[in-house]
Structure 1
Amino acid sequence: MNIEYLHYFLDVAKTKSIAQAAKLNFISSQGMSRAMGELEKELGCQLFIRYSNKLALSPAGEELTDAAARVVDDYNALLDLAAAKAQPDHAPCGSLLLDCQNVATLAFFPQKAKDYLLGAREIIFRESQNSQIRQSLLASCAERDGDALPAVGLFCFFNQERHSEDEGLAALEEHGFRYRPYLRTFDKAMVCAASPLAQKDVLTDADIATRPIVATNSHLYTVLSKRFGRDAIALSSANFALRRQMVEADSAVSFLPAIAELTTPEDGGYVLRPMERPYEVEIGFAGRERDLEAPAFRALIDILDGFYGAHQDAGLYTLCG
């Protein structure tokens, strides 16, 4: 089960609105509707009663809300425990929880930044998805007077209509968080190095559609399904090793932000090719002002500034600062 769908379900149950929950989670209404349909199919029961002008929880949906909340809470507790155990010793006072969107983690951090994140005792690093990061930040806010760590989230937005993002970010800002966009880039197609597609300088939509498409997550799934149709997408998975294996076998096409050319060395199995109609990817950080200025986080930003400042002429991104 996609744990993110349970986050979505709880937001739909709370707001009684597909559109409102979609905005909170930075996805389209169509993407939220699809996610709820897939969750209902997997659970084998109807979660909502859909009227012409409103949405209500079904009796089963009412009963499952508390159970879904417990699953989400237990999952978050598991991640917190795993993050703590991953540290060589007890985290020192002033440590920072850095919750990172998994696609951004893969493509955004250069090796020096990855080495820093894995070696810094002051940072507890965790990969998540946008909706989970938002929940984690809000939880840290609620527990700020207790033992919760300072927290910063790294978000990744795929070509969304801006109002879909602004609503979710505004919900964070209401609780004292600030969003700082860092850079904007664009996706490239990830194809088998031995494929005829690898010989082309630019790929058209028709070129890409000659292979099944493997999307990275629900956000990108929405973008790609609008463009290529849902039947063209064979799989939606955050597992990069799986996507890469399928691409290298020439059984699928996937996608990575263009900045991956700088941060993820190609080793012969796959190559990145520009698309005739690329879509934008925005990467940015959200946190409380004092957390965004924490020494451990500023050290990471200094590494990123040094790296991306030196590669601006590559034409693969624009800095937002």
Structure 2
Amino acid sequence: MDIHDLKIFLTIAQEGSVSKASKILYMTPQGTSKVLKNLETEMGCQLFIRDKSGMQLTESGERFREYALKDVDDYYQVKKDILHIEQRQKKVVDLLSAYGILRLLTPDCLVAFKEKYPDIEFHYREYPDLPVEQLFAGNEGNVAFSIGDFDEHLYQVVPLETFPIRLLVNEKHPLAQKESVTIEDLQGEPMFIESSQFHIYHLIVEKCEKAGFEPDIIFQTSGFSLCHKMVKENKGISVAVDFIYDDMREEGMKLIPFSDGIYEWKACMLTRRDEEENEGVQCFRKHVQEWLQKIRSGEITR
């Protein structure tokens, strides 16, 4: 048996059906059944029994499943560990980034890095904030950009930039007359906001809950652009940060600060403290910090 056989067995156990497992695995039912039969022959036992509700694990099958789960998990962990060793030796930058941060740095930052260091292998993947954190915590990638506060015992954290989160409204909306707002001002207002996979969603929802109400979120999205569009049409309110608002600036909208606490979009660069950095990651960190300094000085326009 091999890891592929164990994955087939685990999929059958999860689905309770050879035919359902075959569809997920892109195999024929005959091929899936053959693997199962070979496993049962090798182990000298029946792994499943069939009843009206489908295929159920036998007692031996349950024990085999425990070992199969561990073996598959160990296999993929070893693959990740070896990948990190190879990346360190070969000067690889494997970047996981939350949406919005590339808008902060500008795409030219990555283009310039690849041109400056053609010998460094560079990979880039972009996700919402929370999937980036989950993937990075699971040993995916070797450097990450994300939003929020992070455990500095686990990660080396390099702050990039922090922006206040402000209320975004149409100039015709009654709240547009205020110089500042509190979270209570959001009560009963239809809101467009980034989804629960983003830090900004949880910050706003938690503040509303602490104030004793649930926000009237009528639509969640994967980016700021739809929020801006709906506010422009005066169909609701939203929240945004300055640099994205400036980048997408249109007439008829207004950003209003919150006056009742800290509302921040804090972008950070992360590496793992328990993982030796390769030369490529060190060069990338230095490049990003220098690039941001050029943006601040006006040498580079965002």
Decide whether aligned partners of structure 1 residues 252 and 117 sit closer, same or farther in structure 2, where only a CA change above 3 A counts: farther
Aligned to 1:56: none
Q: What whole-Å deviation, never above 9, does each CA across 1:120-172 have from its counterpart, x for those lacking one?
A: 5464333213332234335556xxxxxxxx63111101xxxx6xx43xx64xx
1:181 aligns with 2:180: no
Distance 1:200 1:101 in 2: 32
The Cα of 1:247 is off from its aligned counterpart by: 1.4
Aligned to 2:204: 224
The Cα of 1:251 is off from its aligned counterpart by: 1.4
Distance 2:123 2:168 in 1: 30
| Alpha carbons 1:191, 1:197 under 8 Å: kept | yes
Distance 2:130 2:183 in 1: 29
Tell me the C-alpha RMSD between the 2 structures: 3.7
Decide whether aligned partners of structure 1 residues 253 and 179 sit closer, same or farther in structure 2, where only a CA change above 3 A counts: same
Question: What letter is aligned with 2:176?
Answer: A
Aligned to 2:54: none
The Cα of 1:291 is off from its aligned counterpart by: 6.0
Distance 2:270 2:177 in 1: 40
Superposed, 1:107-118 pairs within 5 Å as 108-109=104-105, 113-117=106-110
TM-score calculated relative to the size of structure 2:
0.53
Aligned to 1:201: 179
Aligned to 1:215: 193
Decide whether aligned partners of structure 1 residues 270 and 100 sit closer, same or farther in structure 2, where only a CA change above 3 A counts: farther
TM-score calculated relative to the size of structure 1:
0.50
Decide whether aligned partners of structure 1 residues 247 and 105 sit closer, same or farther in structure 2, where only a CA change above 3 A counts: farther
Superposed, 1:162-311 pairs within 5 Å as 165-166=150-151, 170=153, 173=154, 177-209=155-187, 211-218=189-196, 219-228=199-208, 229-260=213-244, 264-268=247-251, 270-277=253-260, 278-288=262-272, 289-290=277-278, 293-308=281-296
Q: Give 5+ residue unaligned stretches, structure 1.
A: 1-61, 74-92, 142-149, 312-321
Match of 1:100 among 75, 97, 102: 97
Aligned to 2:130: 131
The Cα of 1:222 is off from its aligned counterpart by: 2.9
SS in 2 for 1:223: helix
SS in 1 for 2:250: coil
| Alpha carbons 2:200, 2:265 under 8 Å: kept | no
Distance 1:242 1:118 in 2: 27
Alignment length (residue pairs): 199
Question: What letter is aligned with 1:198?
Answer: A
| Alpha carbons 2:101, 2:267 under 8 Å: kept | yes
SS in 1 for 2:143: strand
Aligned to 2:143: 152
SS in 1 for 2:181: coil
Question: What letter is aligned with 1:116?
Answer: C
Rg comparison, structure with higher value: 2
Aligned to 2:80: none
SS in 1 for 2:165: strand
Decide whether aligned partners of structure 1 residues 291 and 134 sit closer, same or farther in structure 2, where only a CA change above 3 A counts: farther
The Cα of 1:304 is off from its aligned counterpart by: 0.7
The Cα of 1:188 is off from its aligned counterpart by: 0.9
| Alpha carbons 2:194, 2:221 under 8 Å: kept | yes
| Alpha carbons 1:291, 1:297 under 8 Å: kept | no
Distance 2:113 2:219 in 1: 35
